Amino acid sequence: MPKMRYAVLLLGSTLEFVEMPADHVYQLTALNRRLHKELDKLTASNVPSLPHVVAECDALDIVDNACPVRHGLEYMNELEQAFAALDEKAYPLISLLTEIRALQAQLEQWYEEEEDA
């Protein structure tokens, strides 16, 4: 069984958990920090609210279903869709989308390889 790891995300007072292959969670954390650095530079009216990665952990026991565990690829697909939908005129959004899509592609490949194994 592959080793999974969890990113703990916080948006306001809402916690969210994203399950990803252990070797990829650090990339989500780095991407999240990069996106937060750039959010204020975006001028589009529909800039998504982006949670902060506040922790990473190897094990997770959920005792309250109010905080579901999200599949990593599902999370990345939604993130890509949110940023692709921006009508940005003043900021070169392509670099952010490139970083999002790179991690998205790595996860797609990882999950495909796991299915084949």
Q: What is the pLDDT of residues 5-21, one digit of tens each?
A: 999 999 999 999 999 99
Q: Supply the range of the domain harboring residue 20.
A: 4-116
pLDDT confidence of residue 91 = 79
Question: Considering the entire predicted model, what is its pTM?
Answer: 0.92
User: How would residue 25 be classed by pLDDT, with cut points 50, 70 and 90?
Assistant: very high
How many Cα neighbours within 13 Å face the side chain of 57? 12
Burial class (CB in 10 A: 0-12, 13-18, 19+), 67: middle
Q: Which residue has the higher pLDDT, 87 or 101?
A: 101
Q: Which of 49, 54, 32 is nearest to 103 (CA)?
A: 32
Number of separate domains in the chain: 1
What's phi and psi for 20, nearest 5 deg?
-145, 165
